[in-house]
């Protein structure tokens, strides 16, 4: 009977060894499965990170394009503002020149007494045709003195037709003889 106990002990040893082998194999399988799950999760994270990097690159490229368009639009707008300012400056300069001419005209007001007729006019009008008596009269080359009572400058000529001479000087391109 001892032989049966020895066989039973050997059988138990075999069972224990088989159980240990199954448990070890199961533990290794579990470990491999966990590693595989972990590797799969890591690979998933890697793939997601790659997707996120692609999205970030797309966003960056879009932002660069938008920034370039904004910069271009700003440069175009700045050029338009500069052009408008230049035009406005030219208009202002023209207006300033016109005002200076008006000021000069107003400051150059003069009254003439021609043969007893008073004619208010401007120095510019009298100087509009060069190398004439009236031009030299207001040129500053000669000392003129106004009448102290009424401030007129006396010209010893007939005043009956002097109005026509002034009208011609005011608009030298117009022929007054066609008006009558």
Mean pLDDT by runs of 10 across the 180 residues of the chain is 71 84 81 80 85 88 89 92 94 87 71 94 88 86 85 90 91 60
* Global model pTM greater than 0.85: no
HSE of 165, CA atoms in CB hemisphere, 13 A: 18
- How far is residue 79's CA from residue 37's CA, in Å, rounded to a whole number? 62
**Residue 134: count of CB within 10 angstroms of its CB:** 19
Give the integer Cα–Cα distance in Å for 170 and 119.
13
Among 170, 134, 168, residue whose Cα is nearest residue 179: 168
β-sheet bridge partners, residue 64: none
């Amino acid at each position: 009977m001892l032989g049966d106990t020895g066989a039973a002990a050997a059988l138990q040893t075999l069972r224990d060894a088989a159980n240990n082998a199954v448990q070890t194999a199961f533990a290794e399988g579990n470990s491999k499965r966990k590693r595989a799950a972990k590797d799969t999760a890591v690979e998933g994270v890697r793939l997601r990170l790659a997707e996120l990097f692609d999205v970030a690159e797309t966003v960056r490229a879009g932002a660069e394009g938008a920034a370039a368009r904004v910069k271009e639009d700003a440069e175009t707008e700045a050029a338009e503002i500069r052009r408008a300012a230049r035009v406005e400056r030219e208009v202002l300069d023209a207006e300033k020149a016109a005002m200076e001419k008006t000021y000069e005209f107003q400051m150059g007001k003069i009254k003439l007494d021609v043969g007893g007729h008073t004619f208010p006019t401007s120095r510019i009008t009298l100087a509009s045709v060069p190398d004439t008596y009236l031009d030299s009269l207001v040129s500053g080359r000669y000392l003129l003195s106004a009448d102290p009572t009424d401030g007129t400058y006396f010209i010893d000529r007939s005043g009956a037709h002097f109005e026509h001479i002034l009208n011609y000087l005011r608009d030298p391109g117009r022929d007054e003889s066609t008006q009558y």
